[in-house]
Homo-oligomer: A and B are copies of this chain.
Amino acid sequence: MTTELGTGIDRRQRSADSELRRRAQAVVPNGMYGHQNMNALPAIPQFIARSRGARLWDVDGNEYVDLMCSWGPVILGHDDPVVEQAAEEQRRRGDCLNGPAPILVELAEELVRTVENADWAMFAKNGTDATTMCCTIARAETKRDLILVAEGAYHGAAPWCTPFPAGVTAADRANLLHYRYNDVDSLRAAVGERAADVAAVIVSPFRHDAGFDQELADPTFARDVRAFCDEIGAALILDDVRAGFRLNHGGSWDALGVYPDLTPWSKAIANGYPLAAVTGTDRYRDAAGGIFVTGSFWMGAVAMAAGLATLGELARRGAVAHMRDVGHQLRSGVLDAASRWGFDVHYTGPAQMPNLLFSNDVDHELSIAFSAEAQARGVYVHPKHNWFVSAATTPDDLDMALTGLEGAFAGLRARHPSTTR
């Protein structure tokens, strides 16, 4: 793609990436799967060689400033020295053991201190583990089956929640009802006469469905959902897997004064180490203790040590405020550049997790081309999924990002001279 631009930028080498894609085709179905397959656009490098701070390098040696943060997990920056040292110290003692290491208790205590409405914590590996556990706990406590999910919302990739239905049975979804985000009337309508069968409402802190404009939670909606759950005796599950610890050091709806009963966490909780958690209130403690969930690596002590260090460093460094500040500068820069080059863009969501789409962009053609232009200029962004800002972003990183994104709009304009504002 970059070879056709004629905008003076270097042609980036991609031969090592192409060769790995070719080999992957032979031994991995489709060459890649899941959200990494969403990444398999020719202009985005598939294979990554190394990373540090807010920078990463693909297998052809091209350098990028990172605005995806490994799709969320990297929050203090890649290879953070404090997190790595904590992980290394635990690793010397042991990781996957016959039982938990003491770090499990320390991390659970820290989460209970950090998360306003958390009376207890449990740990797992995937965000999907955590969202599924919340549903199971809610069902165990309420003795009800139904879960209310917002249309189009992403809560994981198990059969009950995966966004693409191949291999999913009707029974996997039989206990779901759907409402519209930010529309409490749709919640009441979805429930109808079945209020006494509802175990939980699951909701994201903001609407972050990939490929669509993001939408912040209306504070009234958040309060109404909480009141509705209390009214019908259902659990409120706030799915903080994607946004957790980036919007707030604690629950993402704390600023709205709305506290869930159960919260699934993952992604940023351990700066890239594989960890998920569920926190909950005392009402759900016995139910949580009564379900059987487990995994061979769920007691992995290294990820927990990384998690404890991550939570500590996020607080100590004032990471949320820094990410918000960087995000605001990024937003201003992107909106100015888009305007200068005459593009009508939708830059939505919280500053730390923005999503950039283009008006009247059939099949995301413009956003894909923009992303290619950005990648060619050393800015790693995604054409459909929200971006993520890390706390490691320096003024230099931000400059490199804004310069590259300005260039990307310029390059896009050169290729699409007729696109209207």
Contacts and interface: CB of A to CB of B under 8 A. Distances in A.
Given A157-B292, A299-B36, A272 B95 contact: yes
Interface in A137-164: 137-140, 145, 157-160, 162-164
A92 B335 CA distance: 37
A109 B20 CA distance: 11
Given A78-B94, A125-B126, A164-B292, A102 B49 contact: yes
A55 to B, nearest CB: 11
A290 B162 CA distance: 12
A72 interface: yes
Given A274-B300, A297-B73, A28 B108 contact: yes
A30 interface: yes
Contacts of A136: 159, 166-168
A416 interface: no
Contacts of A296: 70-73, 126-127, 241, 266-267, 274
A29 B162 contact: no
A126 B295 contact: yes
Residue from A94, A104, A266 whose CB has the most chain B CB atoms within 10 Å: A94
Contacts of A32: 100
Interface string A270-291: 0011100000100001111111
Contacts of A272: 95-96, 297
A66 interface: yes
Contact of A71 (B98, B105, B122): B98
Given A105-B24, A122-B29, A51 B294 contact: no
Given A48-B99, A167-B287, 11 more contacts: A24-B104, A27-B121, A30-B288, A48-B98, A59-B102, A98-B380, A127-B295, A128-B295, A136-B159, A138-B167, A171-B172
Interface of A: 20, 23-24, 26-30, 32-36, 39, 44-51, 56, 59, 66, 68-74, 78-79, 84, 91-102, 104-105, 108-109, 111-112, 119-122, 125-129, 132, 135-140, 145, 157-160, 162-164, 166-172, 174-175, 241, 266-267, 272-274, 280, 285-300, 303, 380
In the A-B complex, the 5 residue pairs with the closest CB atoms: A34-B294, A30-B289, A29-B289, A140-B167, A96-B272
